[in-house]
Structure 1
Amino acid sequence: MNQLNREQLQLLEKAGFAFQKITQEQVLAIVRGEVPVEDLDDTSLVECLTVANLLYRGGFPLVSDYVYDFIFLAELKKRRPDHPFLQKVEPEPVALAKTVPLPVRMLSTEKAYEFKSVQRWAERIRKAADGIGVDFPSLLFRATPKLDGFAAYDDGERLYTRGDGRRGTDISRVFARGLQVAEGGKRGLGPGEIVVRRSYFQKHLARVYDNSRNFQASLIREKDLDPLAAEAIRQKGAVFFPFVLLPDWRGVWRELSENFETVIGDLWNRLDFDIDGIVLEILDERLKESMGATRHHHRWQIAYKKNTETARVKVIAVTPQTSRSGRVNPVAEVEPTRLSGALIRRVTVHHYGMVREKGVGPGSVIELSRSGEVIPKIEKVLVTAEPQLPESCPSCNSNLIWDSDYLRCIDNMNCPAQITHSIGHFFKTLGNIDGFGPASINRLYQHGVRSVYSIYTLSAGEYEKMGFGPRQSENMVAQLQRSRTEKIEDWRFLAAFGVYRMGPGNCEKLLSMFPLEKIFSLTREDVASIKGFKEKTADAVVEGMQAIFPLFTQLYELGFNLAKTPVAGYEENKFLPLQGKIIVFTGAMQQGSRQEMEKQAKLLGAKPGKSVTGKTDILVTGQRVGPAKLNKAKDAGIKIMNEQEYLEMIRNME
C-alpha cells in the first residue's frame, strides 16, 4: 500500500489537514518501519503524529495505539519532552458542529507500560497526601477498565464530544436516535465512552468495518444513520457507558501493589467491550483537588497498558553523541530488528557508566523491550563484550571528564555540537519558526555563525553567500521576523534559552511569581521560596540565569511580542481589589473552567487555594458541589458565594 485509502484522505481533508513537510507515501513508509522515526526532523515527526492521531480518532487508524505511543510519541518525548504537541489533549479530527464549552475539562490520561511507572505514580500520590495530612496507607484506590471508544460527556440534557478537552460539540442526537446508557443507567452521569459490544461487532459488523473504532465514528455523524448503525443502537449493541458504572476494584495501595497482576487480569476481561488498559485513580476528593492536573492529564490518575514484547539483538558498535548540555551519550548500533512494527537499528544506552559496567560493545547481545518512555529500552545485557568508550568529544575532539556515570565535554564555548544543539533548542522551543533545522544550523555554524542573535542580524544577501538559495534566504529572514512579531508566551521565550532545570513548566511557575524583567536579579532565596523549587534547584537556576543574561538581553531588545504571564499580586502601585485574598473554587463552573477563574482571580491579586482551610477567605461554588467543603466552610465562618454572585462582585470591583 503506497497511498492512503479514500476514507482516510477524506477524513484528513475534512479536518483541514494538508501534507506539508512529508507526503502520504512517506507517512506509510514510516509506519511500515522502512524509515526510522529517529531519522525524521521534529516537524516531520509531529506531522506524522498528527496524521496518525486524526485517522485513529476518526475511525480509520493507520497504526495501533501501542505503536503510536511507543514509536512515534515516545520519540518526540525523548527529544523534546516539553513540545507543545505533548502538552495538549489530542483533538478530534473534525468539529461536527459549532463548539461549546464542556461542563468540565476532559483530559487525556497519563500512561504506564510497566509496574515501576505505576509505583512512581503512587509515590507522587504519597508525597501529595503527606503534604495535606491525608493518611496514605488508608487511601482508597479505584481500578477500572479503560474503554476503547469515543469519549463523550453527558450532563443529563446534552451529550458532548471531548473535543480539545475544553470545548466539544453537541451530539445529543445520538440519544434522540435511541442510544441507551449501559448497565440500565440513567442520563447525566458525566464522562464516558460510546462503545460497541465486542460480540455484536464480531457477529454483525466485522465483515463491513475494519475495527470497532471505525464503526463508533459512524454513530455520531450528523447525516442519517446507515442501517447497520441504526440496528446496533436498536439492539443495544452500541451504548454510552459512563465511567461511574464501570466494574471496578477498590482497595488500599498495599493490596493493589501486592496483587497487581491479579487485579489487572480480573478487570481486563470483565466486559464485552474492547479495552486498551486499566485506569488507576485515587478517590479522595480533597487530594484530587490538591494534586490538580497538567495541560494534558490529571495527576491523580494513570492508565496501565500491557507491554510484553521483547527482542534480543546483537550490538555492532557504540557511537558517542554530544548533547546540548555537553553530556556525551552512547548510542548502540544494532543489527536491524523488527519490534512492534518498527525496524530498530539504534538504541540509546542510558550512560557510559552502564556501557563500562555492563560490557556493552561490539559483539555484545542485549534484550530490548517497549517499556517506559524511551523507545526501545535496554532491559539487560545477555552477552558482554569489551566496552567501547570514547577518549575525546566526537564533536570538538576535546578531552572528556567523568561526571558520576556520565562522560562530559566541558568545552562548551567551542564545541560545535553544544552550540548547534543550543541554537536548535531555541528555535524548537519557540515553536513559531520554520527553516532552521539541523542542516541549516550546521551550515550557519560552518560559516562562523555561533549564536542565535547573530542569526537574527543576517540579511537575505548574507544567507545567500553562505549557500542558501535566493528564495530560501528571503524566507528565512521572513520567518525570523515572524518569530518576533507573532505573539508567544514569555515563559516559552525564557525556556528557549535552555537553562538547566528550567523547562516550560518551571519557567511558567517562575514568571507567575516574578515578572520577566525582575528574574535576573533574583537571589537563591527568592527562587527557593517558590513552591516546587528546592535549594539545589535554586542554585542552578540563579547560576543559569546569569549565564544567559548577555544573550537574553540582546534578543529581548529585538522586540519579541511576548504575552506576559499573570503575576500574582505583583503589579506595583496598582490597586488590586482581591489583594491577598485566598479563594477556593469548587464544583463545575458555567462561565469558564476553574483554571480560567483562578487565573482571573490572580490578576485581581487573589491567591487561589485548592482546599478549604482556616486561612480561606471565600469559597466560590459551581454545580454538583459535595457537602464536605460546604460544611467545613460554614463551620469556619468562611464567606460562601455561588458563581454568579462572585462574578457580579468582581464586575463591581473592576
Structure 2
Amino acid sequence: MHRVVGVPNVTPTYASSNTTLSQLKWIATNSMTTSMLNPTQLQLLEVADLTPLNLSPEQIAEMATKLDASLLSDAQLVGFLQICNALYRGGEPLITDLAYDQIFLAELEKRHPDHPYLQTVEPELAFAGKTVLLPEKMLSTEKTYTADGIKKWLARLEKAAEDIGIDIESLHFKSTPKLDGYAAYDDGNLLYTRGDGRKGTDITRVFERGLIVGGNGLRGQGAGEIVVNQSYFASHLADTFDNARNFQASIIKEKDLGQHALEAIQNHAAVFYPFAQLPQWQGCAQDLKANLADIITQALSSVDYDVDGVVFEVTDEVLKNHLGATRHHHRWQIAYKNNIETAIVTVLSVTPQTSRSGRVNPVAELEPTRLSGALISRATAHHYGMVKEQGIGIGTVIELTRSGQVIPKIERVITPQTPQIPEHCPSCGSDLVWDSDYLYCLNTTQCPAQIENSIEHFFRVLANNDGFGGKTIQKLHAAGVSSVYAIYQLSLEDLMGMGFGEKTAQNLLAQRQLSQSLAIEDWRFLGAFGIHRMGLGNCERLLQHYRLADIFQLTVEEIINIEGFADKTAAAVVESLAKIQHDFQQLYQLGFNLITTPLLSEQQQNHSPIAGKIIVFTGTMIHGKRDVMAQQAKRLGAKVATSVTGKTDFLVTGTDVGAAKIAAAIEKGVNVISEDAYLALLS
C-alpha cells in the first residue's frame, strides 16, 4: 500500500547549503536513473541531433547513476548537460532538476564561469513547424533552493534601487506559482515554443485542436505554460504516462492526437495557462522577508497544476530596466525551488551492495511509489546499523520523503519488521565484519565487486578517457583481468579472445593510450587509486608538500604537520599508502603524462611577477586554453580562482567579456588586464 501526500499539505523545508551536495550523492543508489536509456529517450536525442556527442547510451546512463560531475572532462560535462536538457524538455528526464543544477551545472560554473552554455537559455526540443522570432525574449529564471538565496537576491535589488535613487520602502514585489509545464508564448495570432529564448517554433496547431486558455480564456496574454490538471492526470493518465511533462510534450509533438491527449483537451484538463492569470501575492520587501514560508506554502497550493517552485519578482519598471538581464535570465526575477512530498510505503526487501571500499550498503527495495513526478522504487537505508536498530526488513512500513525533487529518503519507520542482516558478502561470499554501524567485506583482493569498482574508479577519476565503464570492466574481470595494471598489458588479440569485437577492442586500446598520453595532474593520478580518506582535495594538498615519488616514505607525524590532516586521517593515509604501493609503482612506471603540483616551499621562493597573486581568467583566450593557462599560473606560484572578489589581484580577460563584469571588478579594486598584457607580464 502507499499513500502519496502532495505539496499543498506540507510546510516548505529550506535546503541547507552545507548538506545538500553530499545528500545528492545518495541518489546513486536510488531509482531516478536506469542502467540504459529507454527507446523514447534515444529517439529524443536523435531528434535533438545530439548523437554526434560521441557518448554511448551506456556512458550517459552511467553518468546519471554516478552523479559525480568532477570526474567528467569538460566536453563530457557540457555534452551531458545538453543531453539531460533535451530529455527533460522531451518529457523523459534522466536526472532531477536539483541534480542538474547543483551537481553538473554548478561544476561547469566552477570550472568555466563564462562558458557559453551558462550564458544562454537551455533550448527546447524542435517540433514540426516553422521557426520564428519570438515577440519578446523568453529567458530562463535564476534559481535558488534556500531562503537565504531569496534574501541575498532582495539585498542585491535593494542595493541597485539605492544606487539609482529609488526609495527602498516604495519597492513592491509579487510572487506566483512556478508552473512545471511546457513554456510557450501567445501573441494572439500565433503560439510559439520558447525554443532558445529568442526563436521558437510555431505550434498554433494546439489551439486548432481545441486547447483553451486558462484563467479568463483570452488569447494574446504573452508567456505561459501548457499544463494538465493534477487531479485529472492522477485519475486518467498516470497509468499511461510516467509524468505530467511527458504527457504535455505529447500534446505538442503528435501530428495526430492520441486518444488520451484529445480527451484531456476536450475535457479542458489540458490548457495553455498565461503567467498573467496566475494567482499572486503582492507586498513590500519587509513583508516578503517576514512571511516567506507562508507565501511559499500558499503559492504551492494555489493551482491544481504541477508546480515546482515559486517565482518572485520586483514590480518597479524603472528598477527592472536598470537591472536588465543576462543572456540567460532576468536579474529582477528569481525562482525558489523546494518541493517536498511524502508517502507511506511498504519495503519489499533490503538488498546488500558491496562498494569499492568493501563496505556493504543496504538498499531498500520499495513498492513503486510516485513522488514529485518520478516513480521511486529504491531508497538508501544508509547503513546496516540503521537497518538493525529500526527494524527495516520485508514488510516494514516507512514514511518516504523526497525533498527538492531529488532525495528519496526514509524519514521514519512506522511499522518495523525483523531485519535480515547479511552474514556474507553478496559479491564474494566472504564473512562480513562489523565496524561501528557498518558491515565490511575484508576480502579486498578477491571480491569481484571491490575489484571491478576499483578498476572503474581508476579510469573515471583520470577523466581523460572513455570506454572503461562498468559493463566493459565486468566482462574483462570475467575473463580473468583483476587489476588496472593487467588492463595495460592487454593486446588486441587478448581483447578479441575475451569476446570483444575488433572495432571495440581497437577503441579500448586507443582510449587506454589516451589515459597515458593526455596530461593530467599528479594529484588526480594519485586519487585514482582510491586511497582511504584521500579525496582529490587531500591528494592535491599532500602533493603541495611532498613529491609524488616520496609519499610512500612519509610518517604519520609528517602528514599530521600538513594543514587539514588530523591524527586519525594521517594514520589511515599511511596505512592505505602501504597497501597500494605495489600497484602504484607498477602503473607509475608505465609513464603517464603527469603535471607536477608545485611545492608550497618552491612557490614561496618563486620570484615570478604573479607568485602569491590571486588570478581569475575570464572569456575566450586566443593564445591558449584557460585550463592550460591556469595550470601554468599555479606552477609560477599564483592562486587561481573562479570568481572575482575583493582579494583578487588580476582579472585576465579574453574575448566576449561583458562590460558589467569588468566594471564590477574595477569597482572592487581588481587589476583588469588583457590576455596579451598578462603574457607580456610573464615574459
TM range, smaller chain: 0.5 to 0.7
- Give the CA deviation at 1:278: 8.1
Aligned to 1:62: 90
Aligned to 2:524: 492
- Residues 582 and 608 of structure 1 are in contact (CA less than 8 Å); yes or no, is this contact kept in structure 2? no
Aligned counterpart for 2:56 among listed residues 21, 46, 58: 21
- Aligned residue for 2:379, secondary structure, equals strand
- Residues 53 and 79 of structure 2 are in contact (CA less than 8 Å); yes or no, is this contact kept in structure 1? no
- Residues 325 and 418 of structure 1 are in contact (CA less than 8 Å); yes or no, is this contact kept in structure 2? yes
Name the CA shift for 1:365/1:533 in 2 (closer, same or farther; >3 Å): same
- Give the CA deviation at 1:94: 11
Relative contact order, higher structure (CA 8 A, sep 6+)? 2
* 1:555 counterpart = 2:587: yes
Aligned-residue identity in percent? 37
Give the 5 Å matches for 1:476-515: 476-515=508-547
- Aligned residue for 2:403, secondary structure, equals coil
CA offset digits 1:158-209 (Å, max 9, x no partner): xxxxxxxxxxxxxxxxxxxxxxx999989xxxxxxxxx99999776379723
Give the 5 Å matches for 1:506-585: 506-570=538-602, 576-578=606-608, 582-583=612-613
Tell me the distance in 1 between the aligned counterparts of 2:513 and 2:612: 42
Name the CA shift for 1:57/1:412 in 2 (closer, same or farther; >3 Å): closer
Aligned to 1:336: 368
- Aligned residue for 2:197, secondary structure, equals helix
Tell me the distance in 1 between the aligned counterparts of 2:530 and 2:293: 41
Name the CA shift for 1:495/1:88 in 2 (closer, same or farther; >3 Å): farther
Tell me the distance in 2 between the aligned counterparts of 1:109 and 1:571: 39
Aligned counterpart for 2:187 among listed residues 196, 199, 204: 204
Tell me the distance in 1 between the aligned counterparts of 2:518 and 2:151: 45
CA offset digits 1:331-358 (Å, max 9, x no partner): 1122222333333232221111111111
Please tell me the residue identity of whatever aligns with 1:314. T
Aligned to 1:406: 438
Give the 5 Å matches for 1:395-474: 395-474=427-506
* 1:216 counterpart = 2:244: no
Name the CA shift for 1:511/1:471 in 2 (closer, same or farther; >3 Å): same
Aligned counterpart for 1:360 among listed residues 392, 400, 411: 392
- Give the CA deviation at 1:452: 0.8
Tell me the distance in 2 between the aligned counterparts of 1:306 and 1:333: 25
CA offset digits 1:456-495 (Å, max 9, x no partner): 1122222333333444334333332232122333232222
Please tell me the residue identity of whatever aligns with 1:348. T
Aligned to 1:159: none
Tell me the distance in 2 between the aligned counterparts of 1:612 and 1:93: 23
Tell me the distance in 1 between the aligned counterparts of 2:399 and 2:189: 37
Tell me the distance in 1 between the aligned counterparts of 2:617 and 2:76: 38
Tell me the distance in 1 between the aligned counterparts of 2:602 and 2:543: 11
CA offset digits 1:103-150 (Å, max 9, x no partner): xxxxx999648x8xx8xx9xxxxxxxxxxxxxxxxxx96245999xxx
Q: Which moved more, 1:51-60 or 1:385-394?
A: 51-60
Give the 5 Å matches for 1:187-202: none
Normalised to the residue count of structure 2, the TM-score between the two structures is 0.56
- Residues 579 and 606 of structure 1 are in contact (CA less than 8 Å); yes or no, is this contact kept in structure 2? no
Q: Which moved more, 1:86-95 or 1:549-558?
A: 86-95
- Residues 59 and 214 of structure 1 are in contact (CA less than 8 Å); yes or no, is this contact kept in structure 2? no
- Aligned residue for 1:209, secondary structure, equals strand
- Aligned residue for 1:345, secondary structure, equals strand
The root-mean-square deviation of aligned C-alpha atoms, in Å, is 6.1
Name the CA shift for 1:2/1:481 in 2 (closer, same or farther; >3 Å): closer
CA offset digits 1:23-72 (Å, max 9, x no partner): 9xx99xx9xxxx9975999999x999977843776898234999633677
- Give the CA deviation at 1:21: 1.9
- Residues 55 and 62 of structure 1 are in contact (CA less than 8 Å); yes or no, is this contact kept in structure 2? no
Aligned to 1:346: 378
* 1:12 counterpart = 2:40: no
- Aligned residue for 1:325, secondary structure, equals coil
- Residues 485 and 586 of structure 2 are in contact (CA less than 8 Å); yes or no, is this contact kept in structure 1? yes
Tell me the distance in 1 between the aligned counterparts of 2:581 and 2:143: 36
Aligned counterpart for 1:142 among listed residues 142, 152, 158: 152
Please tell me the residue identity of whatever aligns with 1:551. D
Name the CA shift for 1:2/1:650 in 2 (closer, same or farther; >3 Å): closer
Please tell me the residue identity of whatever aligns with 2:191. V
Please tell me the residue identity of whatever aligns with 2:581. F
- Residues 145 and 278 of structure 1 are in contact (CA less than 8 Å); yes or no, is this contact kept in structure 2? no
- Give the CA deviation at 1:5: 12
- Residues 396 and 413 of structure 2 are in contact (CA less than 8 Å); yes or no, is this contact kept in structure 1? yes
- Give the CA deviation at 1:510: 3.3
Name the CA shift for 1:365/1:491 in 2 (closer, same or farther; >3 Å): same
- Give the CA deviation at 1:393: 1.3
Unmatched tracts of structure 1, length 5 or more: 97-107, 122-139, 148-180, 187-195, 221-229, 239-246, 280-301, 631-640
Please tell me the residue identity of whatever aligns with 1:419. I
* 1:389 counterpart = 2:399: no
Please tell me the residue identity of whatever aligns with 2:338. K
Unmatched tracts of structure 2, length 5 or more: 1-37, 121-140, 166-175, 202-219, 224-273, 275-282, 302-306, 313-333, 653-661
Please tell me the residue identity of whatever aligns with 2:482. R
CA offset digits 1:287-310 (Å, max 9, x no partner): xxxxxxxxxxxxxxx996212222
Tell me the distance in 2 between the aligned counterparts of 1:275 and 1:338: 15
Please tell me the residue identity of whatever aligns with 1:577. H
